[in-house]
Amino acid sequence: MLINFSSIIPKVNKNLIKLTSFQVTSLQLTTKRNNSSSSSKMSNSDNLIKGLNITHNPYFNLSGQDIWSLINETAAKAEIESGKKVCNLGQGFFSYSPPDFAIKYAKEAFDDPLTNQYAPPRGKPQLLNSLAKSYTKFFGKEIKQTEICVTTGANEGMLSCFTAFLQKNDEVIVMEPFFDQYISNIELNGGVIKYLPINPPADFDKRIVDASEWTIDFKQLESLITSKTKMIVINTPHNPIGKNFSKEELLKIGELAVKHDFLIVSDEVYEHLYYKEHIRIANLSDEIAKRTLTIGSAGKSFAATGWRIGWVIGNEELIKYVQAAHTRVCFSSPAPIQVAVSKALDAALENGYYEATRNKYINKYKIFTAVFDELNLPYTIADGGYFLLVNFKKVKIPENIEFPEIIKSKPRDFKLAFWFIQEFGVVGIPPTEFYTDSNKEAAQDCLRFAVCKDDDVLADAVNRLRALKKYIVEE
């Protein structure tokens, strides 16, 4: 059966959705992570490709290593020098396989010749049907297939949301700490970011705190809203804090969106990993729902981050533009994996998978936080997700440690991360990387750890980190 894709792709007024070159001409890399509104202009010679008289896009000036390369290379070097494997709790990838039923469905899908061909841009009908069925249950109201767009991972779903609605100089409110991909996805579409900090309790360096104690200042939020505000991005459960935004908080955000007429992009990829009630902002009122786009992820739901299947759910009047952008960004998403995810979603509704996974993660946190309880080191109790923020202000880094030049000028958390790898063979991520310069202080004594690892890896990390005891200085 031949599919007429032209009947699936909505016809969109080209003046309403500007996709050409992602509007990169409006961008300046040097303003990417600070609150400055201007920067010095660079000459074309600064953008020349080595060995060619051709310039590259200045947005992608490569100044130093990115955080992931820096940490991973440090870890690899430490393994070679010590002859021992490190406990990598840095990046949020899973160290174990997806559930057996999901693997089975993937293998079956690859054996079907037609399943290995292009899927319709909006998603295979089989997956759209399974998503509609699952989210009708999760939302407690009917979700139609026309309110869903399948994407190549949740990140591409976010990118397609920004591409669909942002025009040059539209403003987007982003809370920090943030997932770093938000920033480039917005700026590559000509958007201007207004940053709103999620503030930790003032005494976070002295006690264990709950993620709910990290709060936003709603007066500050209102002060960021202008006539150019196009959308706000929320992440709940939050990476890296583990905060599940409360009904009261989400309602205030939603009411501001209705009052000032802007969109809400709700990144809910950790939606099934909640340890306190998970509230969906799209469920709070019809007015809020019709301006909300909810992002989901098969990779996070089924421990399969390499499968690259995500989705966007929302008002079909919004979804048709998301689909149009998605079609231009990547045309369609991996067809065999869509079939596998469809069957996995159906199975998970019946076999108790989500609840079992939550219970496993409660135990993973219990295993890993034991060492910080022993050492009386403060951390944030996560209400959702699979990250842990630990405060190491009481830990004294030895003065004789030689740091690489690239780390010497970085905040203290980079030095902690380097030292932890060298001394203990445990990898964590410095969270100031997810802040603008003006708000880095909130996390400069912290490290972020991902607990989405096998229990024996977490237990090994605990044993290694017990050696921190001799470096703790109590006030």
Domain with CATH 3.40.640.10 in the chain: 100-351
- The Cα-based distances of 284 to 135, 219, 389 in angstroms read 15, 21, 29
Mean pLDDT of the chain: 91
Q: Residues of the chain with pLDDT > 70: what percent? A: 90
pLDDT at 100: 98
- When pLDDT is averaged across residues 45-69 and rounded to a whole number, the result is 83
pLDDT at 64: 66
Quick one: which of 412, 407, 405 has its CA closest to 391?
412
**CB neighbour burial string for 191-224, b if at least 16 within 10 angstroms, e if fewer:** bbbbbbbbebeeebbeebbebbbbebeeeebeee
pLDDT in tens, 97-110: 999 999 999 999 99
Quick one: which of 133, 121, 145, 126 has its CA closest to 314?
145
- Region 100-351: CATH code: 3.40.640.10
Quick one: which of 443, 452, 434 has its CA closest to 181?
434
CA 292, CA 346: separation in Å to the nearest integer?
25
CA 236, CA 215: separation in Å to the nearest integer?
13
Q: What is the number of H-type helices and E-type strands within the chain?
A: 15, 13
pLDDT at 30: 36
343 or 33, which is more confident: 343
Q: Which pTM does this prediction carry?
A: 0.89
Using the predicted structure, report yes or no on whether residue 20 has a pLDDT greater than 70: no
Using the predicted structure, report yes or no on whether residue 63 has a pLDDT greater than 90: no
Domain with CATH 3.90.1150.10 in the chain: 67-93+354-471
CA 398, CA 396: separation in Å to the nearest integer?
6
Does 67-93+354-471 carry CATH code 3.30.1330.10? no
CA gyration radius, the chain: 23
pLDDT in tens, 391-416: 999 999 999 999 988 899 999 999 99
- The Cα-based distances of 420 to 413, 429, 447 in angstroms read 10, 10, 10
Quick one: which of 370, 416, 410 has its CA closest to 393?
416
pLDDT at 33: 52
CA 237, CA 210: separation in Å to the nearest integer?
13
Per the listing, tokens 């008002």 go with: 315
